[in-house]
A and B are shown apart, each in its own frame.
Chain A
Amino acid sequence: MKRVAAVGVSQTRFQPRHPDKNYADLIYDVTTGALKDAGMTIGQIDNVVTVSNDFWDGRTISSMAVMDACGSYGKNVSTVEGDGTLGALYGAMRIWSGSFGTTLVVAHSKGSEGSPFLITNAMFDPFYHRPLGLDAISSAALQAQAYIDRRRARVEDWARVSVKNHRNAKLNPFAQLPMDVTVEQVMASPVKATPLKRLDCSPVSDGAAAVILAGEDRVGESRQKPVWLKGVGYAAELHYLGDRDLSHPRALELAAQKAYSMAGIKDPKEEIDFLEVYDAFSYMESLWLEGLGICSAGEGGKLTREGITEMKGKLPVNASGGVLSAHAVLVAGLVRFIEGVLQIRGAAGAHQLDRAGMGLAHGINGPCGQSHCVWILGKN
């Protein structure tokens, strides 16, 4: 299997609305942005993978809207309907297969144009679960409550995640919600669904992102230093919430083990320098750290409480501000991947970490992290 690297990246600024851009405009911006970042032309792109969702776009065959904007004319192109980390995975598979030398992966979402309640209610079983009014927020609240009940998780620790990530976002020009908030302010913010409060929840953003991947024989075409795809793993667990132990992310454990073994990582918390995880809700950052094997079950909150996940801590998590600070659905996973690339390149600007040789990027799909994708990115 030949080695594959990320050689070009681009993201838009994430905003509550991009009123001046349609889907194709956003994709055109990040496509040209990634090509410029790599110093490559569209002629050097062998194939394209787009990422979009018909529900979020309000359009069937949502990829149709961006086929010309991503420069796929005359090329082999396909569409992943799922998190951007999975789009990057399909893009990499196509190079690993030996069929292509380079892949452009693009993702877009405009949360402002849809109803997040109706769209996320539609991911549940239509007969038993939808009539209950479940959506992304209320199902996450069930998971958060299970986390409290089974693992003695503390809501104050989640508030610290929110404080940290919004503060980190102040150093990231692409983030939507850079701000100083206190634990008290998070705790006092209006309840969305018990036990989640407004500042425990991510926004719904408009934005897009793009990554150019290249096989080892083609990385020289980019002016950027390659960031290597060292390992990847992904897995899903059962759909019905009642069939899952929501406080125990089994699929994430499996995905992480796969990614670590592919990357030759034996002790993730020692060997990985930083993480970008999909914190759609504050508690998720703590829970996913447990699933990733960074700490044992029930210890996720402690990592934040003790400052270990701070930018200056031993293991920084979401130096970019995370999904809590910018959440274009589907795109956000690809942004975690891009942030990993920028950190390893040493090009993360104001939120650059001192030690960034090996990073982890993570995305989720389905309710309460039913499906996870874990990437290990490295300098060498």
Chain B
Amino acid sequence: MGKRVAITGFGQTHHSARRWDVNGLELIQEAVARALADAELTLKDIDAVVIGNMDHFEGINYVDTWSVEGCGAFLKPIFKVTTGGTTGSTVGIAAYYHVASGLFDHVLAIGWEKNSESDTTGAIITCSDPIWDRFSYSGAIPSLAVEASAYMKKYGIKQEDAARVTVRDRGNAVKNPYAHLRMAVTVEDVMRSPMLTEPIKLLDICPRSDGAAAVIFSSEDRAEKTCPQPAWVHSVSVRHDTTWFGDIDYTEIHSLASAAKEAFRLAGIRDPWKELDICELYMPYSFAGLKWIESIGFCGPGQAPRLLWDGETDMGGTLPMNPSGGVLSTNCIGATALLRVGEVAHQIMGKADKRQVPDVRLGMATGFGGCFWSDVMILGAEKP
């Protein structure tokens, strides 16, 4: 492995459906200023910036150069990475490699999206092949509905089981002052919400939010010098395997299974269910909160509903999931996966305020996007 790397600062905007009060640059600046304050650093300390979003949501090309005044990259190194929904984790992982390479000491990772300026589904549809896939691809919700239906049929899962995931995440969001949808809901609320695409109802799916996240990655000696409790990067893994929707095996999310397996191996984790203290999982709809935790290996196939109903993944449970409220409560797409990374870091640093899980030593953050792609980052309180 290369140099050790730790997260020493995290900042996020107050997310909402429409941030009328700020433009894109101001939104980015809000998150950057909070991350710098959190790390007790100034812009002068930042050696390089890496930024990401999805171009077609705001209709801005070359966001790295457009954003310089907002992200503080004036006369600094900056480039852009982007991979769809996984963009936030892609940015975080890129910042990790920036520091691990030995080129830089403090690197600022930024993910942002101003979805209120976009036709989100109109933009997402253009990810599919224009000749073979686009005529039938109708955006994120229907393709997730295919996955949910296959999973329900195979294991006899009920819509109420998925609703329990929404109840958990939306309930957690109440304690997160930055979350977009801060309202507790019941299983009945979810079941009564309007059907979008069978079996996905309004309260089964994430919102689209305006927001930004900024995370500071630092080298070993700087992290130890400047941060009382850094969140050390123990491992990262990426699997962006599929190009065609027709090639996806909908019975398991193979990219997540494979990325998680590699990330656990690199971090020396043998029993993730027992060893991890917290998870922030990029789960854009409720059914993912069941099926995907099986793919990660937290339980056997079809057994996730039991974990949910038993409260094992709630705050105070064996492995609390999405203390922030998760993606079901906030989804500023280019920032979404970076929020997962930042939230795990803050849990390890003990800075999660009212949503703090006691004594977090090891946590997992994931990203989801593209064509059922997955990223994983493992963070820990101890130096790896």
Q: How many residues of A contact B (CB 8 A)?
A: 61
A97 interface residue (CB < 8 Å to B): yes
| Interface residue stretch chosen among A10-18, A50-58, A266-274, A316-324 | A50-58
Selected from A59, A77, A93, A240, the residue in CB contact (under 8 A) with B130 is: A59
Contacts of B129 in A (CB 8 A): 65
Selected from B67, B81, B98, the residue in CB contact (under 8 A) with A80 is: B81
Contact between B81 and A61 (Cβ–Cβ < 8 Å)?
no
Q: Which chain A residue lies CB-closest to B99? A: A97
A216 interface residue (CB < 8 Å to B): no
Contacts of A55 in B (CB 8 A): 55, 61
| Interface residue stretch chosen among B72-80, B155-163, B205-213, B292-300 | B72-80
Contact between B101 and A97 (Cβ–Cβ < 8 Å)?
yes
B83 interface residue (CB < 8 Å to A): yes
B97 interface residue (CB < 8 Å to A): yes
Q: Which chain A residue lies CB-closest to B134? A: A59
Contact between A64 and B68 (Cβ–Cβ < 8 Å)?
no
Interface residues of B in 63-121 (CB under 8 A from A): 63-69, 73-84, 90, 93-94, 96-98, 100-103
Known: A72-B240, A79-B90, A238-B69. A365 touches B64 (CB 8 A): yes
Contact between B65 and A64 (Cβ–Cβ < 8 Å)?
no
Q: Which chain B residue lies CB-closest to A251? A: B75
CB distance from A346 to the nearest CB of B (A): 30
Known: A60-B84, A76-B237. A239 touches B60 (CB 8 A): no
Instruction: Report how many A-B pairs have Cβ atoms within 8 Å.
Output: 188
Selected from A60, A80, A239, the residue in CB contact (under 8 A) with B127 is: A60
CB distance from A128 to the nearest CB of B (A): 11
Contact with B along A91-132 (1 / 0, CB 8 A): 011101111000000000000000000011011111100000
B126 interface residue (CB < 8 Å to A): yes
Contact with A along B366-378 (1 / 0, CB 8 A): 0001110000000
Q: Which chain B residue lies CB-closest to A93? A: B101
Contact between B69 and A236 (Cβ–Cβ < 8 Å)?
no
CB distance from B122 to the nearest CB of A (A): 10
Selected from B78, B82, B371, the residue in CB contact (under 8 A) with A371 is: B78
B56 interface residue (CB < 8 Å to A): yes
Known: A54-B55, A76-B238, A371-B65. A59 touches B81 (CB 8 A): no
Q: How far does the alpha carbon of A80 sit from the alpha carbon of B68 in the complex, in Å?
A: 17
Contact with B along A340-372 (1 / 0, CB 8 A): 000000000000000000000000011100110
Known: A90-B81, A122-B61. A54 touches B68 (CB 8 A): no
Selected from A53, A86, A98, the residue in CB contact (under 8 A) with B79 is: A86
Selected from A64, A80, A98, A365, the residue in CB contact (under 8 A) with B62 is: A365
User: Besides the contacts A61-B370, A366-B64, A370-B65, what 16 more A-B pairs have beta carbons closer than 8 Å?
Assistant: A1-B101, A59-B130, A61-B83, A67-B241, A67-B243, A68-B242, A76-B236, A76-B237, A82-B79, A98-B2, A122-B60, A123-B62, A127-B23, A235-B78, A238-B69, A250-B75
| Chain B residues proximal to chain A, CB less than 8 Å | 1-3, 23, 54-56, 59-69, 73-84, 90, 93-94, 96-98, 100-103, 123-124, 126-127, 129-130, 236-244, 258, 369-371
| Chain A residues proximal to chain B, CB less than 8 Å | 1, 24, 53-55, 58-61, 63-69, 72-74, 76-82, 86, 89-90, 92-94, 96-99, 119-120, 122-127, 233-240, 250-251, 254-255, 365-367, 370-371
Ordered by A's residue number, 27 sampled pairs between the chains whose C-beta atoms are within 8 Å are A53-B61, A54-B54, A61-B54, A63-B240, A64-B127, A65-B243, A69-B243, A76-B237, A76-B239, A78-B93, A81-B55, A92-B101, A97-B101, A97-B102, A119-B61, A122-B59, A122-B61, A234-B77, A236-B65, A236-B73, A236-B75, A236-B76, A237-B68, A238-B69, A254-B75, A365-B62, A366-B66
